[in-house]
Each structure stands twice: as C-alpha cells, then as structure tokens.
Amino acid sequence: MVNKEKPGVLPEGERVATPELPGPALSRRIGLSLLLGVAVLATLMVFGDLHAMARHLRGFPWGWLPAILGLTLLNYSLRFLKWHLYLRWVGADLSWPASAAVFIAGLAMVLTPGKLGETVKSFLVWRLRGTPISLTLPVVFAERLTDGLAMVLLTGLGISAYPLGLPVLGGILFSLSILVLAAWLQPQAESVLHRLAGWPVLSRLLPSLLRFYESAHRLVRPPNLLFAIGLGLISWGAEGLAFALILHGLGIPMDLSLVRRAIFTLAFATLAGAVSFLPGGLVAAEASLAGLLLVQGLPREIAATATVLIRLATLWFGVALGALAWAWLVPGLWRTGGARARPTRPNLPGRAIGGVDHPQDRGEVDDRAGG
C-alpha cells in the first residue's frame, strides 16, 4: 500500500536497490540472435542468387545511402521524442543527453524475443534517478503499443490488395485495442486491485501495481495516445520512404504507387516480426518482406536484395547505434548516476496514486526520502 504516514517514503520492502548491468545470460541471447541474423542474411543470399544480387548491388546508387540512413534516423529521432515526453508525462524526466543515451542503448535490445529486452531502459532510468521501475515500465510498453497502432494504420495503404492478411491485421488491431481499453479503465482496475490486496502476494505488489496502472493510464489518455500515434505514422512512414528509395535504386520506377507499396510492405513485415516474438523479428520480417515483394511481381534477386538492404539500414543500423551507446555512453551515465540512485516516491504529476495527496506533488519534499 502507499505509505500514508510518510508519503514521501516508499513502504518497507520497496527500497530501490542498485541494479546491475545486463549479465552474461543476456549477452549470450544477443550473441545467439546475431548468429541467427547472419544465418538469415546468408539464406537470403542463397535464395536470391548471390551473383545476381552482387550485380544489383554494384549498380545501386550508393550516393543515396545518406538519405536512406537519414530517414531511419528521422524515425529514431521521432521515437526518441516520444520516449522523452513519456518520461516527462509520468514524472520520471531525464536530461536530454541522458534520455537520449538510454533510448539509443535500448535499440540494441531489439535482438531479444519480442523486444522485451528494451525494458532495460527502465533499469537505466532507475539507476540514474532512483525512479521505481513500475513507474517507467509502462513507458516501454506504450512505445510498442503506439508503434503497433501506427503500423496497423500504415498497412491500410495496401492491405486491401492482400485479403489473406486481413485476419492477421484485424487480430493485431483487436489485441492492441484491448490493451488501450484496459489502461483507460483505471478506476475499475484499481478497485479490483484493492479488493485483492488481502492476498499475501498481491499485498506486497499492490503499490507497484498501482504505480504501473497510474503511469499506463496517463500515457494512453486520448490526447497523448493520438499524439503518439501521429508521431508513429510519420516516423515509420519515413522508414517506408527509405524502403521506396532502395527499391527505386534497384530499378523500380519511382511514383506514388511505389511509395505506398513500400510503406505497406515494410509496416506489415515489421508487424509480422513483432507478433512472431522472435529476436528482432528475424526470419518472420525477412520472409514477409521478400514474400510480399515476390507477390508484387518483383524478380527473386531484387526482392532478396531489397530485403537485405532495408534490414541493414533499419534493424542492424539501430543495433549498431545501440551497441555504441552501451560501449561509450551508458558506462559514463552508470558511474555518474549511481550517486543519485536512491529510494524516492514516484514523481507522478497531477492526481496522486490512490487519491493520496503527497507533499512532493505540491513541491514539498520529505528529507527522509533522500531529498
């Protein structure tokens, strides 16, 4: 329960411990994902005929590469803006450099099943400012939720031509909508949680569950939800435009139809990779990309080459940036952040959790909370 006698202090048992950097087990999983990625790329090269693909790669206008990567960076930049605003909305805001370092580090975690490794961003925020993880975990899930909704909308650009994909798309949209509805029904959910607080396990978890629900509710309020989906449409649309440039570089005439098909294809393949729960969507995303391009009438070697190029320019480009963040940015933040990691009450703006008016919501800080 929320500590009403000492509202500026977390209840006993909720002390913020010093987290550790990801251990060997996570490193092994990422290493296995890298090997799977190499195997997928090798399979595509065999499928597309290595010699034919090499011929297309020699003729590719590599001068367009900065524009292609720039569109990917635009995607990352807009998603970072969403991440940074989300942290601010739940009262866990970081400085722009620290927030950027945490976000970029999370890009390497896409190589975990279902991108669940991105929850490490909550651990990093915990380390930097002592924020309870239950407060920032909804930020990571809301990122995925709004990205998914944006990509569902983008697939609408071409799904009518592929009726077999409609049930899959409908199922994804239904599941995401259920999650949004569950977050909207916060009062009812909190009432149920309070009734179940008599259970020994739930009584210990109740404060964290209430914080999680409060944070999730703030993030999916209609204005916030629409804003985040709008950012997602622009950011993922930018990657679709990068895919259109790749296809044009491989000899496909550039027109509005190509842009529309490229955005649809990449969005659908990204969704397929996400629901597969495979690390980075590997296998599922590549199979969807190449398969849809083949259905659209492209030769096998062009479909394979385009798939390899867009995955290198998006997934693997992001993993490389994330690896650099872990090697260079995060260790420095980890050292400097350790001094600031201490138990604190979640700094939620506005209404306090459980209806309790906390001194920190009025700008007053209990010294026993560590200032």
pLDDT tens sequence across 135-156 = 999 999 999 999 999 999 999 8
- Whether 2 is in a domain gets the answer no
Instruction: Kindly state the tokens that stand for 63.
Output: 């001068």
Buried b or exposed e, range 344-363, using 16+ CB within 10 angstroms: bbbbbeeebbbeeebebbee
Short-list 314, 240, 130, CA closest to 248: 240
Structure tokens belonging to residue 165: 């994909």
Computed over every residue of the chain, the mean pLDDT equals 82
In a domain, 367, yes or no: no
Residue 120 lies in a domain: yes
* pLDDT in the model for residue 136: 94
Does residue 364 fall inside a structural domain?
Answer: no
Contact criterion met (CB below 8 Å) for 241 and 259: yes
In the predicted model, what is the mean pLDDT of residues 256-278? 93
pLDDT of 9 > 50? The answer is: no
Q: What is the pLDDT of residue 23?
A: 59
Would 360 be classed as within a structural domain?
A: no
Higher pLDDT residue, 330 or 300? 300
- The more confidently predicted of residues 305 and 368 is 305
Do the domain assignments include residue 220?
A: yes
Host domain of residue 239: 25-351
Number of structural domains (the chain) is 1
- Whether residue 30 lies inside any domain: the answer is yes
- CA distance linking residue 299 with residue 7, whole number of Å: 65
236 in a structural domain: yes
Q: How confident is the model at residue 14 (pLDDT cuts 50, 70, 90)?
A: very low
- Residue 165: pLDDT band with limits 50, 70, 90: confident
Q: Length of the chain, please?
A: 371
What does the pLDDT average to over 325-341?
A: 64
